[in-house]
Amino acid sequence: MNNSPPPLCPVCRVPTPRPLLHSRSRTYWRCEVCRASFLDPAQLPAAVEEHWHYRQHHNDPADPRYRRFLNKLAAPLLPRLAPGSRGLDYGCGPGPALAAMLREAGHRVALYDPFFYPDPAVLQQIYDFITCTEVIEHFHDPAGEFSRLDAMLRPGGWLALMTCFQTDDERFAAWHYRQDPTHVVFYRAETLRFIARQWGWACEVPVKDVALLHKPPSACAFP
């Protein structure tokens, strides 16, 4: 580990994370409050590096295997949505397959991605639901991003998240999910429950690696 002072946790902004791992010039920290693990902010990848890496993904909306993967989130979300709901696929990437699946189910879905669908107008709208599949682990400023998502989600709406939950610290160094250079924040189920409590949301974990956060009709403001 280096001798620099610990950074703020990017998820809950507590200033006292502990060292977790130093591997191949990359330093990771663990927040003991929200239980997130994260890459040192001084080592975050540049946008050009991220963009190059994302362009290597080949997520075809017509690929049945990819659809089965995304159905892990769609299956528990769809029964909770009113017919014809309006949603946003946030961080949809170059092949927005989930949006296609939700549209096929009768919902209206806008797209946003800072690299592939960078339309700022969609960020000024209010939605019945927002999906983030394999997205929140890329957030450089999770606290700011969740604030943005809350502002776009109507009271009573759903924020549906899918990310690979971290488990044992002993497996962190060799964990395949950590090896992706654009994955910079790692969540446990308890981390997402912590985030939900901060915003006054309810949180369900219907299956591993999926969390459904429900914004109540009279949601509390961030403390």
pLDDT above 50 (res 221): no
> What pLDDT digit, counting tens, does each position of 146-193 carry?
999 999 999 999 999 999 999 999 999 999 999 999 999 999 999 999
Q: Which residues pair with 213 in a beta bridge?
A: 159, 203
Amino acid at 123: L
Please, which pLDDT band fits residue 60 given cuts at 50, 70 and 90?
confident
Whether the pTM exceeds 0.85: the reply is yes
Residue 18 sits at φ, ψ, to 5 deg, of -110, 155
Please tell me the predicted confidence (pLDDT) of residue 65.
94
The two three-digit tokens of residue 215, written as one number: 């914004």
Q: In the chain, what is the greatest distance between 2 CA atoms, to the nearest angstrom?
A: 55
The per-residue DSSP string of 90-108 comes to ET--SS-HHHHHHHHTT-E
Model confidence at 4: pLDDT above 90: no
Per domain, the residue ranges of the chain are 18-214
Mean of all residue pLDDT scores within the chain: 94
pLDDT given for residue 2 in this prediction? 52
CATH code reported for the domain at 18-214: 3.40.50.150
